[in-house]
Amino acid sequence: MGNTIIYIAIALIVDLLILGAIWFFMNRYFTKRLEIDRKNQADTIIATAKENAKNIEIEAKDKALKILQDAESENTKRRNELNREDERLNKRRTDLDHRIERFEQRESTLNKRQSALDKRANEVEKMYAQQLAELQKIAQMSVEEAREILLQEAEKEGRDDMARIIRQIEAAARAEGEKRAREIVADAIQRVASEHVNEVTTSVVTLPNEEMKGRIVGRNGRNIRAFEQAAGVDVIVDDTPEAVTISCFDSVRREIGRRALEYLILDGRIHPAHIEKVLEDKQKEVEKTIEEAGEEAAYDAGVSGLRPEILKMLGRLKFRTSYGQNQLSHAVEVAKLASVIASELGADTEIVKAAGLLHDLGKAMDHNTEGTHAMLGAEFARRYGVNPKVVNAIASHHHETEQESLEAIIVEAADAISGARPGARREDMEQYIKRLRALEDIANSFKGVSQSYAIQAGREVRIIVRPEDIDDLEALRIARDVAKKIEENMQYPGQIKVTVIRETRAVDFAK
């Protein structure tokens, strides 16, 4: 029995050794096979990478060749354009030479005619002297004929005296009118003195501490993205201590975002779901503020009968500024100034008050629609049944259309007084003069320009060109080029009108 157990144990040991040997050789075989497979796979990857690199190199060479061909084509095209331009200039130079020759011929002809006229005038003077001498010799005429001659001479002298007196009266009336106009404007300004100079809408939100910036941004920017998407604004979190900036071209959206962010900071719950709810509440709050501001402005200006849509659009000006001057306060001020001036001149005060209040209505919508604020405001007012005289005054207060009434002229004057009085806008005199000088420098930089004047507070530049150097077509080109250069080199509100004046004057003196 004992030997049997020993034999069984020996057999088990032998079997285990055999199994171990089999496992060792199998493991070595599979390991070698795996190494071979990995090597083959690596060779395949290397070959594929070399092939891709070769394809990329070929593709890059093709692109470079195409770019070179395009550049050569563009150079050829530009060379052809320069040749055509050179031909055009040569042709124009030839035309100018021909014109100069014709002018010289005309001048020679005119000189000959002038000589003939001078000769004839001398002959007429001699004939008149001879007739006068003969009359003096004869000296025989009736009393009626002598009286008729005296009456004619007296009438001639009386007409000269009358013309001189009329000119004196016109000059005195003009001086008195200017004095009266200055008195009316000064009286209007004194009676409508604003309690404050300007009002600035800020987009900076103050934070209680620097840690709040992290809460506003949120994990991976979740909170700030949700806020920007829902409010339609940009939130700028920079190195400014304990402050963030809200940026948006729409002043109403910026105000909603500012109020919502301030509320979220005070509340402390800043997450996407709560952000949307707060923004909805603040939007309703701002819309109510806009309606109340429009109604209050109409009441302050003394204008009644405006439709709710107009009042709501007018209230949006509460959050719009121009050079630091609040546009709603400016509108009320223009309405009051226009009313005072109209009462002095006998114009319709109700028309000028309504037009003064609504003259900048288009500034509440000019970021959403193409066109100038004057035309946008006029079209909006016309759509809601505003008086046609008021619509014309709105559209023409920057001379974009013709002024059809005295009330329109009064509104333009009141607008200029409100915007130009000292302290109304934050643009100081030095910057203002620099802007006007920059406009004139741009205009004077063009060949053929004689003089240029920036007028209408920099809203228009008038250019006088030399007629002998610039023809009508060239004047159109100068107007277009000046406007383009102003757009590229200057920053300004609204639009700037470029007017090119080309005229020829003929002057002579009677001796």
Give 404-455 as a 3 state SS string: CCHHHHHHHHHHHHHHHCCCCCCCCHHHHHHHHHHHHHHHHCCCCEEEEEEE
> Amino acid identity of 343?
S
pLDDT at 464: 92
pLDDT at 160: 64
From CA 506, how far away is CA 511, in angstroms rounded? 17
From CA 158, how far away is CA 423, in angstroms rounded? 55
Q: In what helix (H) or strand (E) does residue 245 lie, and over which residues does it extend?
A: strand 243-247
pLDDT at 246: 87
- For the cut 80, the answer to whether the pLDDT of residue 395 exceeds it is yes
Task: Select the more confidently predicted residue: 431 or 125.
Answer: 125
Can you give the pTM of this predicted structure? 0.48
Residue with tokens 């070769």: 54
> Amino acid identity of 404?
E
Residue 361: band (very low, low, confident or very high) from pLDDT cuts 50, 70, 90: confident
From CA 470, how far away is CA 447, in angstroms rounded? 9
pLDDT at 189: 52
Domains of the chain: 204-420 (1.10.3210), 433-501 (3.30.300.20)
- Cα angle 209-215-216, degrees, rounded to a multiple of 5: 95
pLDDT at 200: 41
Looking at residue 40, the DSSP 8-state letter turns out to be: H
pLDDT at 499: 92
Compute the average pLDDT of residues 310-321. Answer: 83
pLDDT at 458: 78
- For the cut 70, the answer to whether the pLDDT of residue 322 exceeds it is no
From CA 252, how far away is CA 313, in angstroms rounded? 11
Q: Which of 133-142, 314-323, 409-418 has the highest mean pLDDT?
A: 409-418
β-pairing verdict for 321-322 and 449-455 = unpaired
Report the half-sphere exposure of 88 (CA within 13 A, side-chain side): 6
From CA 270, how far away is CA 238, in angstroms rounded? 19
Compute the average pLDDT of residues 461-474. Answer: 87
Of 327, 335, 337, nearest in space to 293 by CA: 327
Of the candidate ranges 82-86, 193-197, 411-415, 442-446, the one whose mean pLDDT is the lowest: 193-197
- For the cut 80, the answer to whether the pLDDT of residue 142 exceeds it is no
Rounded to the nearest 10°, the torsion over CA 104, 110, 114, 115 is: 60
Of 424, 428, 398, nearest in space to 411 by CA: 398
Inter-CA distances, 347 with 343, 352, 408, Å? 6, 8, 10
pLDDT at 49: 85
pLDDT at 462: 92
pLDDT at 482: 92
- For the cut 80, the answer to whether the pLDDT of residue 214 exceeds it is yes
- For the cut 70, the answer to whether the pLDDT of residue 147 exceeds it is no
Structure token digits, residue 473:
């077509």
Task: Select the more confidently predicted residue: 348 or 508.
Answer: 348
Q: What is the pLDDT of residues 241-271, one digit of tens each?
A: 878 888 887 778 888 888 888 888 888 888 8
From CA 109, how far away is CA 104, in angstroms rounded? 9
Say if CB 432 and CB 458 are below 8 A apart. Answer: yes
- For the cut 80, the answer to whether the pLDDT of residue 158 exceeds it is no
Compute the average pLDDT of residues 56-85. Answer: 88
- For the cut 50, the answer to whether the pLDDT of residue 497 exceeds it is yes
Q: What is the pLDDT of residues 372-388, one digit of tens each?
A: 788 888 888 899 888 89
Say if CB 411 and CB 392 are below 8 A apart. Answer: no
Say if CB 509 and CB 469 are below 8 A apart. Answer: no
Q: In what helix (H) or strand (E) does residue 402 lie, and over which residues does it extend?
A: none
Compute the average pLDDT of residues 291-299. Answer: 87
Inter-CA distances, 273 with 215, 221, 246, 270, 276, Å? 15, 15, 20, 9, 6
Find how far residue 253's CA is from the centre of its chain. Answer: 21
pLDDT at 202: 44
- What is the DSSP secondary-structure string of 325-366? EEHHHHHHHHHHHHHHHHHHHT--HHHHHHHHHHTTGGGGTT
Compute the average pLDDT of residues 396-400. Answer: 82
Compute the average pLDDT of residues 229-239. Answer: 83
User: What are the residues whose beta carbons fall under 8 Å from the beta carbon of 448, sequence distance 6 or more?
Assistant: 465, 466, 469, 470, 474, 478
Compute the average pLDDT of residues 423-431. Answer: 52
Q: What is the pLDDT of residues 75-113, one digit of tens each?
A: 888 888 888 888 888 898 888 888 898 888 888 888 888
Q: What is the pLDDT of residues 182-200, one digit of tens each?
A: 566 555 554 454 444 333 4
